[in-house]
Amino acid sequence: MPGSTWQAFRVPAVLAALALLGACASTPAADPSKDWAMVPATKLARVEGPAEPVVAAVPQEIQNATPSTDALVSSPVPPESSAPLAELTNVFDRIRLGYKLPDSADRSIAGLARYFAGKPEFLDRTFDRAERYLYYVVRELEARDMPLELALLPAIESAYNPYAYSRARAAGIWQFIAPTARRYEVRVNWWQDGRRDIVDSTRAALDYLSELHTMFGGDWFLAVAAYNCGEAGVQRAINKARRAGKPTDFWHLKLPRETRGYVPSLLAMARIVADPEKYGLEFASIANRPYFAQVEVGSQIDLRLAAMLLNVSEDELHELNPAFNRWATDPDGPHHLLVPFLVAPEFARTVASLSTELRMPVERYRVADGESMQGLARDRDIPVATIRRMNGIMTAELHSGEDILLPASKVAPLRAGLIIEGETPLPGHRRHTYVVRRGETLASIARRNHVGVEELAQLNGLTTSSHLSAGNKLVLEVSDHKVKHRKKKTTRSAAAVAAATPRKLSDLGSRGAAAALAARAATLAVVADDAHLSDG
């Protein structure tokens, strides 16, 4: 915990910790009443935070045997190239200097600015979360010479909550849907959802925005609008305006109601950040320096062990690495963690001194009569592929009396409700694309493939009554072993998560563009310990 210190690192001590982890058959559910400490009200100064984490010390003989941390620790952002910018203490000052978007006299912007200014608690929560991520996002935008107003886009999209999940099935601070994530090679599987990964999702979001900026002739307003409703929707509106002989800039296009409020919302937030005092606010400072560094750990690691070695809470480690679905990292990588910046070198040394077996504790298990790999995978809640990989087994066959390796503790979900049904395949299942033929319906396709029609509809973002046309493509999820039965649901549906999530949206009833923003905010179903966010 912050403020405490391990006097010395000893391998036996780590072994004892691993034994404790191995004894845990499951992970307690997160306490939904626990919230991150918020910044004081925006009219007040920030209070002192907790002490910096301290990494366990490594004996000299182990230090001499481990590789240099230079090869293991990296900053996700490029080195500072501007001394004046580096000398700033508050990242908000840096953002203000990087504004590039043209202002507009559109009345909706002033109305939205007043609306946001009237929600200081929302602003507190949003920028308290952003404290971990904002410097990184700003530096990435600078490296691409993009407007720094775009650093405020996640405030509009998700209130900077990496666990925000919408009924449109968008996830993370940048609110990617699964098809867009695949398009930009964001990794989503049983172990992790890269849409929640701060580094990978930011890379993908800025790639997408840059493409849109080029696609729409260097017009950032059109690019941001297309980020919200899709490039096809914006292009259709432009084509329609051209045919009618009307202007084709954002302010004159006939776009969806939400999108018409989306760009003004970003500009309104930018106005507040530019001059908080004008709106009766005083933003708490966010340090203009890295919050985290990236450490290569080399192989799969138990996140509870990593938190112990860092001497930080498991919650803090997961806030820096929100992509992980389980209490262990993906065995296929990428094998890196984001950790508090100041302790990264020592943590890298400590992890490098541990064998693979110590990083991810395993147990030797003797197969009993009648046991199968599928059954063991189901009991341990892990994919069959994980057992195969751990044991170098190419087939799914096991023999009585055979010794195999299994995870020493159940690789349980990190948080209740974190894994949303339909986003990742169930253990022992795979997905493939199905091309709809003439005359087929969701019901007929579901029957032919032995899945429930509701499951098929939900997996593809449809309703059970959706009309299909020949040539449409659907995602089908089937058992690796072609078991012909309807799958049991093992995770909550997005609708169930949304219904169970406490909200604070009753006061979002402003008219016009503000109502459009509130309509978007109402779609957020927050899958996190912070149960208050849905007003984003």
DSSP string covering 36-101, please?
A: PPPPPPTTSPPPP-PPPP-PPP--HHHHHHSPPGGGTEE-SSPPP--HHHHH-SBHHHHHHHT--S
Q: Where are the alpha helices (DSSP H) in 327-410?
A: 344-352, 356-359, 373-380, 384-391
Question: What pLDDT, on a 0 to 100 scale, did the predictor assign at position 68?
Answer: 58
User: Of 460 and 366, which is predicted with more confidence?
Assistant: 366
Question: Can you list the pairs that 488-494 forms with residues at least 24 positions away whose Cβ atoms lie under 8 Å?
Answer: 489/421, 489/455, 490/421, 490/426, 491/413, 491/419, 491/420, 491/421, 492/417, 492/420, 492/421, 493/420, 493/421, 493/422, 493/458, 494/165, 494/167, 494/169, 494/420, 494/421, 494/422, 494/458, 494/525
Task: Answer for the pair 322, 316: CB distance below 8 angstroms, yes or no.
Answer: no
Can you tell me the distance from the alpha carbon of 367 to that of 369, in angstroms, rounded to the nearest whole number? 7
Question: What pLDDT, on a 0 to 100 scale, did the predictor assign at position 199?
Answer: 97
Q: What are phi and psi of 505, to 5 degrees?
A: -115, 5
Question: What pLDDT, on a 0 to 100 scale, did the predictor assign at position 411?
Answer: 57
pLDDT digits (tens, 9 = 90+) for 201-244: 999 999 999 999 999 999 999 999 999 999 999 999 999 999 99
User: Of 61 and 16, which is predicted with more confidence?
Assistant: 16
| pLDDT reading at 34 higher than 60 | no
| pLDDT reading at 476 higher than 90 | no
Please name each of the domains of the chain with its CATH number.
11-67+288-358 (no CATH), 83-173+198-286 (1.10.530), 362-407 (3.10.350.10), 429-479 (3.10.350.10)
| pLDDT reading at 435 higher than 70 | yes
431-441 burial, b at 16+ Cβ within 10 Å, e below that, comes to: eeebebeeebe
| pLDDT reading at 197 higher than 80 | yes
| pLDDT reading at 498 higher than 50 | no
Task: Answer for the pair 157, 175: CB distance below 8 angstroms, yes or no.
Answer: yes
Tokens for 287, please give them: 């340090």
Closest CA to 295 of 55, 132, 73, 77: 73
Q: pTM higher than 0.75 for the full model?
A: no
The DSSP letter of residue 418 is -
50-67 burial, b at 16+ Cβ within 10 Å, e below that, comes to: eeebbbbbbeeebeeebe
* Cβ neighbours of residue 79 closer than 8 Å, sequence gap 6 or more: none
The DSSP letter of residue 435 is E
Question: What pLDDT, on a 0 to 100 scale, did the predictor assign at position 372?
Answer: 87
The H helix count followed by the E strand count for the chain is 23, 9
Q: Which range has highest mean pLDDT (103-117, 379-393, 434-448)?
A: 103-117
pLDDT digits (tens, 9 = 90+) for 237-278: 999 999 999 999 999 999 999 999 999 999 999 999 999 999
Task: Answer for the pair 264, 109: CB distance below 8 angstroms, yes or no.
Answer: yes
DSSP string covering 460-482, please?
A: TT--TT----TT-EEEEEEETT-
| pLDDT reading at 483 higher than 60 | no
* Cβ neighbours of residue 126 closer than 8 Å, sequence gap 6 or more: 155, 159, 160, 536
Q: What are phi and psi of 380, to 5 degrees?
A: -90, -5
CA angle 487, 386, 183 (to 5 degrees): 75
- Give 350: exposed, middle or buried? Use CB within 10 Å, 0-12, 13-18, 19+: buried
From 142, 157, 258, 477, the catalytic residue: 157
Tokens for 122, please give them: 């929302």
- Give 233: exposed, middle or buried? Use CB within 10 Å, 0-12, 13-18, 19+: middle
For the chain, give the percent of residues with pLDDT over 70.
Answer: 70
DSSP string covering 200-253, please?
A: HHHHHHHHHHHHHHHHTTT-HHHHHHHHHH-HHHHHHHHHHHHHTT---SGGGS
Question: What pLDDT, on a 0 to 100 scale, did the predictor assign at position 457?
Answer: 75
Chain mean pLDDT for the chain: 76
94-132 burial, b at 16+ Cβ within 10 Å, e below that, comes to: bbbebeebeeeeeebbebbbebbbebbebbbbbbbbbbb
Active site residue 157: yes
Can you tell me the distance from the alpha carbon of 48 to that of 26, in angstroms, rounded to the nearest whole number? 35
Task: Answer for the pair 505, 534: CB distance below 8 angstroms, yes or no.
Answer: yes
pLDDT digits (tens, 9 = 90+) for 59-110: 443 344 444 566 788 888 777 878 899 999 999 999 999 999 998 999 999 9
For 526, the enclosing helix (H) or strand (E) is strand 524-526
Closest CA to 519 of 317, 251, 247, 256: 256
For the chain, give the percent of residues with pLDDT over 90.
Answer: 45
Question: What pLDDT, on a 0 to 100 scale, did the predictor assign at position 280?
Answer: 96
Q: What are phi and psi of 312, to 5 degrees?
A: -125, 165
CA angle 7, 10, 15 (to 5 degrees): 125
